[in-house]
Structure 1
Amino acid sequence: MVEVKNVSKQYGDKNVIENVSLKIEKGKITSFIGPNGAGKSTLLSIISRILSKDTGDILIDGMDIARCKSNELAKKIAILKQSNYINVRLTIRELVSFGRFPYSQGRLTKEDWKHVDAAIKYMELADIQDKYLDQLSGGQQQRAFIAMVIAQDTEYILLDEPLNNLDMKHSVQIMKVLRKLADELGKTVVIVIHDINFASCYSDYIVALKDGKIIQQGATENIIRPDLLKTLYDMDINIQTIDENKIAVYYA
């Protein structure tokens, strides 16, 4: 379990995260939703220790992350940020192998390569694994980076807008893979996501943020409600139930 206790973060005089507390259940998918500037990505980065917090505590399985060695933390948490740029010419396979660095320190074993191969297969990249990243579409690059995170084989997987640059087919593929990681392998997945319908259909829990504060958190069916979404997004959103999923209709 991840426990966030009274965490705050300021940039200058602006509170980006303000006194946030939450618990993220193990083996489930938790989505952070909310408008631009809500603090979703900042909170994700603080949980992974990419960003420092100003106040508060973050515990993973009861362990204070502030006291963890970086290499040990990298065996517990994998994170993929929203913008990824590597100034080296790499193939997909080489990129994915970077996910094994916390274990191999660059000297990959047969066991490491098994994880690399499995991650490439998960993301349906086997037929293009020897292509260079600069030869790929944006969607293919995104899938390659997600494969790298999967290869890291951590209990906790944090993804910042993983559906960026993906078409409908591959967006669904990513969400199904994440669902499979949680249901079959017991991974704990936390995602920042803008499409509330993907959050609704694939998440167990949702944390709704606005202006650096948690508006509400809980089981998905308790968050996807017209009144709460209006508070969150300042617009009327009709909710319809389709195949037991709550679908937000906000295009009309």
Structure 2
Amino acid sequence: MSAYLAIDKVSFGYGSRTVLREVSVGLAKGDILGLIGPNGAGKSTLARAVLGLATVSSGRIVLDGVDIRGMSPKARAQRIAYVPQSSPLSFPATVFETCLLGRTPHMGARPGANDLRVVEDLLRRLRLESFAFRPMSELSGGERQRVMLARALAQQTDILVLDEPTSALDIGNQLFTLRVVAEIARERGVTALVAIHDLSLAARFSDSLLLLDKGVVVGHGDWQSTLTEKIVRDVYGVDVEIGLLRGVPVFAPHEPA
């Protein structure tokens, strides 16, 4: 598989329970892949596999020609950044200090002028500068989620893995945050994998979608071919009306009669 990031026939399981079964997908630099599927489909497990945190039972994940299993933890941290589903509730640091942790793979014993500039720019871009010296423990869940994204972006990696990055955000910040991710992906050629439940947001901000169900790929491509009414009904067990509102895809689910 010729791609900047190649996930090639990856399988993973816990004992006799298979979580991923021969998942394959390739991404070019700057691509945004939306990972979608119902709860338990294997989205978070695939994200962890890309990070090297879940050792696959077969297959391989190759970044720019190098199998990630051959990378040291520091080398992976310089190439792949991660935003988990949730962040610690009482993180003993300020927002600025937390974001600065993203520079750890690149800096020495203490941060340099460039490290400080990177953090300051990201806090400004994500509208977090007014929170810079506030303790993480005093932030709302949505504010913490944006800080964790800023920390990941501060790593300035080639790959960005986001696991439900908008789950705690209000509708305005969902749009704003995903737009910033899309802009940075375009500007710096960052390849992003975004696990997300909201089908409208996934379709709107992803270059392509990977639909998983019970650990198996059941759809891959643009949103029109991956998320038909029949596919959504078969995978999610709901009927859905799909339309365009000002050119933006909208999915309105409702229970089958």
Whether the TM-score (by the shorter chain) exceeds 0.5 is: yes
Equivalent residue, structure 2, for 1:85: 88
User: Does residue 1:152 correspond to 2:152, yes or no?
Assistant: no
Is 1:45 paired with 2:41? no
The alpha carbon displacement at 1:231 in A equals: 2.1
Which residue matches 1:108? Answer: 111
Asked whether the 8 Å contact 1:208–1:232 carries over to 2, the reply is no
Q: Look up the equivalent residue of 1:166 and give its one-letter code.
A: L
Q: Is the 8 A contact 1:89 1:133 kept in 2?
A: yes
Query: Which residue does the alignment assign to 2:19?
Result: 16
1:186 to 189, 202, 205: 189
| Alignment of structure 1 residues 1-252 onto 2, 5 Å | 1-85=4-88, 88-251=91-254
- Identical aligned residues as a percent: 29
Q: Which secondary structure does the structure 2 equivalent of 1:127 belong to?
A: helix
- Following superposition, the deviation at residue 220 of structure 1 comes to 2.6
Preserved CA contact (<8 Å) 1:49 1:65: yes
Give the C-alpha shift of residue 245 in structure 1. Answer: 2.5
Give 5+ residue unaligned stretches, structure 1.
Answer: none
Q: TM-score, normalised by structure 2?
A: 0.94
What secondary structure is seen at the aligned counterpart in 2 of 1:164?
A: coil
Q: 1:162 Cα shift?
A: 0.2
Q: Distance in 2 between matches of 1:107 and 1:82?
A: 29
- Residue type at the aligned position of 1:163: T
Distance 1:69 1:35 in 2: 33
- The more displaced of 108-117 and 95-104 is 108-117
Cα RMSD between the aligned structures? 1.4
Worse overlay, 174-183 or 36-45: 174-183
Q: Deviation string for 1:42-63 (max 9, x for gaps)?
A: 0010011011111111101111
Q: d(CA) in 2 for partners of 1:202 and 1:51?
A: 27
Indicate the SS of the match to 1:121.
helix
1:106 positional shift: 4.5
Structure 1 Cα separation of the partners of residues 200 and 108 of structure 2: 40
Are 1:29 and 1:189, in contact at CA under 8 Å, matched by a contact in 2?
A: yes
Q: Distance in 2 between matches of 1:116 and 1:68?
A: 26
The 2-side partners of 1:18 and 1:217 are apart by: 15
Please report how far the alpha carbon of residue 12 of structure 1 lies from its aligned counterpart in structure 2 after TM superposition.
2.0
Cα deviation 1:124-174 (Å, max 9, x = unaligned): 000111000111111111111111011111111100000121111111111
Return closer, same or farther for 1:26/1:232 CA change in 2, 3 Å cut-off: farther
Compute the displacement of 1:88 (Å). 4.7
TM-score by length of 1: 0.96
Q: Which amino acid aligns with 2:100?
A: S
